[in-house]
Amino acid sequence: MERKNKTTGKVAGIVANLVTVKVDGPVAQNEICFIYHNDERLMAEVIKVIGVNAYVQVFESTRGVRVGSNVEFEGHMLEVTLGPGILSRNYDGLQNDLDKMDGVFLTRGEYTDPLNREVKWKFKPLAKAGETVSAGSWLGEVVENSIPHRIMVPFKMEKRYEVKSVVDEGEYTVDETIAVVLDEDGKEIPLTMVQKWPVKMPVKVYKHKPRPFKLLETGVRCIDTLNPITEGGTGFIPGPFGTGKTVLQHAISKQAEADIVIIAACGERANEVVEIFTEFPELDDPRTGRKLIERTTIIANTSNMPVAAREASVYTAMTLAEYYRTMGLKVLLMADSTSRWAQALREMSNRLEELPGPDAFPMDLSAVISNFYARAGFVYLPNGETGSITFIGTVSPAGGNLKEPVTESTRKAARCFYGLSQARADSKRYPAIDPIDSYSKYLEYPEVQENLVDVVGEGWLSDVIKAKDILLRGKEAMEQINILGDDSVPMSFHDRFWKSELIDFVILQQDAFDSIDASTPLKRQKYMLAKVLEVADSEFEFAHFEEVSGFFKEVINFFKQMNYSEYESDEFKKHEKSLEELLKERRN
């Protein structure tokens, strides 16, 4: 899309952040332009072209912009800068480094470099002269916060090239030439550690993208045990305000089996994003023993920042994730909340006077969400390595209505549904994931079932199905007890209800503030589930319904003490022994 001469234009109309520009030359969809106002340059993106009029969405406040203001088109789409130094950074939706900005409030028209151009990186060559390379091939690597950061042939170079030379091992800045390649005509092309890529275009330099099949361990029992997600899988967390979406995302970020964590705060409230900025630098990483922020990048576009940048932020985050996936790394991408992104799409669609869909959202909302989720996945790279992007987004439906368009469209795209329940949150049952309404479609895949057997062992899937059945039967029993009264239902109803409560308290609920219970390895999850189901399969004798609740409360207490103890430690075994003695007294 690069043009020899830049197209220019004049502002012809303004409606909030939608600006109509009368152009004097060719422009393209999604092209970037700058509107000049006094000494400020306001970045905007072309979203519609009709004749000589280009409709652009401005990523800044348009206050003060007048009809007749000059506009200059850049000849390229919205791009991100890729290279060493992205980890531990706090960016906005346009990849401006927030830490380089001065003042309490963001200055309109201020754009900062996302990389540090002065720092020197210790480069180690991986490619050799004479080798044939293509887009995404590894030329060398530097170490970025203990993570191997591969320097690759730029993704835009689609042909095959011959390596003429690669620099020796040593320290270089990102802008120094580290390799020279020859194209088919023998022309020399110098390469640095930096490249650019348009955020709206998926990075497709992989060899094969199969259906995800490897289990991703998150350490969160109500996910791993009942509805597991796969490495390279997709999931979403809908729920009313205050049910713990953000906290659950933080827990997954800290504990999941991933090399890189990218958090896109695409329209979340500013106070919750501030918590990320202040907490993550202090959190210890249980996987590396270092700080969690060292393998984390934050894209912050809060609800009080320009609405158009919400859309940019999710695409920027996904492009960074694809960049690291091409290095052969496992990336976890968390977006909070995609509802605000959808609201930004609705706002722009309405201003363009497009035909509205349900609840005034764009007619193509479902397609936009599906295309975005499709960029995640598990891939085989041309060099035989593998990489993955596991994407989990949150949805904040108004009034907790899970039938609204954003939730319904996301349900079609994502394979895991972790619905948060207001009732569970109100009763302090955290994580508040509803075990009955939630599901993982990955459990239907034969290759995932085989991987479960390899990782966890035989019998896991049947135990999961049995646990879900007990929970459902317990819910039905509770409803009957509430309608008819405690003493008007058979004793079996109380027994059934409390066995479901046993699974709820021991397996589903988890203490994120306890150093041991915060994260549970799969081996321990399997053992505890089998232990709980062993109790649920047992027959007990009770003379009165009050005995049922008293007995099971004691059982739950011993199990919870086991959850708070180191697995297979003396303390763990002591509580387990006490539990066995209690069960032995009551069993038939």
Give the CATH fold of the 121-193 domain.
Answer: OB fold (Dihydrolipoamide Acetyltransferase, E2P) (2.40.50)
Q: With pLDDT > 90 as the criterion, what percentage of the chain qualifies?
A: 78
Question: What is the distance between the alpha carbons of residues 110 and 101, in angstroms, rounded to a whole number?
Answer: 8
Can you give the pLDDT at residue 543? 87
Over the stretch 511-537, which tens digit does the pLDDT of each residue have?
Answer: 988 989 999 999 999 999 999 999 999
Chain length of the chain: 588
Q: Which of 259-277 are b and which e, b meaning 16 or more Cβ less than 10 Å from the residue's Cβ?
A: bbbbbbbbbbbeebbeebe
Mean pLDDT of the chain: 93
Query: pLDDT category, 307, cuts 50, 70, 90?
Result: confident
Long-range contacts of 10-13 (CB under 8 A, 24+ apart): 10/67, 10/68, 10/69, 10/70, 10/71, 11/35, 11/65, 11/66, 11/67, 11/68, 11/69, 11/71, 12/53, 12/67, 13/67
Helix, strand or coil, per DSSP, at residue 507: helix
Say if CB 6 and CB 75 are below 8 A apart. Answer: yes
Mean pLDDT to the nearest integer, 337-352: 90
Can you give the pLDDT at residue 496? 96
Long-range contacts of 354-361 (CB under 8 A, 24+ apart): 357/405, 358/405, 359/404, 359/405, 361/405, 361/406
Query: pLDDT category, 272, cuts 50, 70, 90?
Result: confident
Over the stretch 152-188, which tens digit does the pLDDT of each residue have?
Answer: 999 999 899 999 999 999 999 999 999 999 999 999 9
Can you give the pLDDT at residue 250? 83
- CA angle (426, 432, 435) in 5-degree steps: 125
Domain 460-586 carries which CATH code? 1.10.1140.10
Query: pLDDT category, 561, cuts 50, 70, 90?
Result: very high
* In 377-433, alpha helices (H): 405-413, 422-426
Asked if the model's pLDDT at residue 291 lies above 70, the reply is yes
Domain boundaries, the chain: 8-78, 121-193, 221-445, 460-586
The arrangement of secondary structure in 8-78, i.e. its CATH architecture, is: Beta Barrel (2.40)
Distances (CA, A) of 45 to 200, 304, 374: 12, 20, 23
Can you give the pLDDT at residue 337? 85
Position 480, amino acid: Q
Can you give the pLDDT at residue 69? 96
Query: pLDDT category, 5, cuts 50, 70, 90?
Result: confident
Over the stretch 63-104, which tens digit does the pLDDT of each residue have?
Answer: 999 999 999 999 999 999 999 999 999 999 999 998 898 877
Helix, strand or coil, per DSSP, at residue 394: strand
Asked if the model's pLDDT at residue 274 lies above 90, the reply is no
Can you give the pLDDT at residue 588? 62
Over the stretch 346-378, which tens digit does the pLDDT of each residue have?
Answer: 988 998 889 999 999 999 999 999 999 999 999
Of 249, 215, 232, 263, give the one whose Cα is nearest residue 433. Answer: 249
Question: What is the distance between the alpha carbons of residues 31 and 546, in angstroms, rounded to a whole number?
Answer: 70
Distances (CA, A) of 215 to 386, 450, 454: 15, 10, 10
Over the stretch 469-507, which tens digit does the pLDDT of each residue have?
Answer: 999 999 999 999 999 999 899 999 999 999 999 999 999
Question: What is the distance between the alpha carbons of residues 463 and 467, in angstroms, rounded to a whole number?
Answer: 6
The arrangement of secondary structure in 221-445, i.e. its CATH architecture, is: 3-Layer(aba) Sandwich (3.40)
Over the stretch 186-240, which tens digit does the pLDDT of each residue have?
Answer: 999 999 999 999 999 999 999 999 999 999 999 999 999 999 999 999 999 999 8
Can you give the pLDDT at residue 391? 98
Helix, strand or coil, per DSSP, at residue 411: helix
Of 401, 415, 467, give the one whose Cα is nearest residue 436. Answer: 467
Mean pLDDT check: name the lowest of 407-416, 437-446, 578-587. Answer: 578-587
**Cis-peptide, bond into residue 337, ω within 30° of zero:** yes
Can you give the pLDDT at residue 333? 97
Asked if the model's pLDDT at residue 3 lies above 70, the reply is no
Over the stretch 53-66, which tens digit does the pLDDT of each residue have?
Answer: 999 999 988 999 99
Query: pLDDT category, 335, cuts 50, 70, 90?
Result: very high
Question: What is the distance between the alpha carbons of residues 29 and 77, in angstroms, rounded to a whole number?
Answer: 8
Can you give the pLDDT at residue 207? 94
